[in-house]
């Protein structure tokens, strides 16, 4: 299936007004004649920055740069 035409600003405003009025996703999607997914993307805006997955790094960026710079000089060894 292809994509439908992009949502207009009027449709976005209508979706947000209906959501604030207490309508559910399916009822809003029927009223504006758009898919539930399109309505959901307008209402639930994802956060702009997500947390990185996995454990936290043990070195800060500054400490990592210092470690790489010291190791690349070749004056120290692992022995």
Domain of 7, CATH number, reads 1.10.10
pLDDT recorded at residue 53: 85
pLDDT recorded at residue 78: 63
Residue 7 lies in a domain: yes
* Residue numbers of the domain that contains 12: 1-46
Residue 53 lies in a domain: no
pLDDT recorded at residue 48: 73
Q: Spell out the residues 6+ positions from residue 59 whose beta carbon is closer than 8 angstroms to its own.
A: 67
Residue 60 lies in a domain: no
- Compute how many other C-beta atoms are within 10 angstroms of the C-beta atom of residue 11: 17
pLDDT recorded at residue 72: 86
Q: Which of the residues in the chain have pLDDT under 50?
A: none
pLDDT recorded at residue 54: 86
Tokens of 24: 């559910």
Looking at the 3D structure of the chain, how many domains does it have? 1
Placement of tokens 């947390």 in the chain: 51
């Amino acid at each position: 299936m292809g994509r439908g035409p992009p949502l207009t600003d009027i449709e976005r405003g209508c979706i947000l007004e209906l959501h604030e009025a207490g309508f559910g996703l399916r009822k809003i999607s029927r009223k504006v004649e758009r898919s539930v997914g399109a309505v959901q993307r307008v209402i639930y805006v994802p956060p702009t920055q997500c947390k990185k997955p996995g454990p936290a790094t043990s070195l800060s960026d500054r400490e990592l740069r210092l470690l790489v710079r010291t190791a690349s000089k070749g004056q120290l060894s692992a022995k």
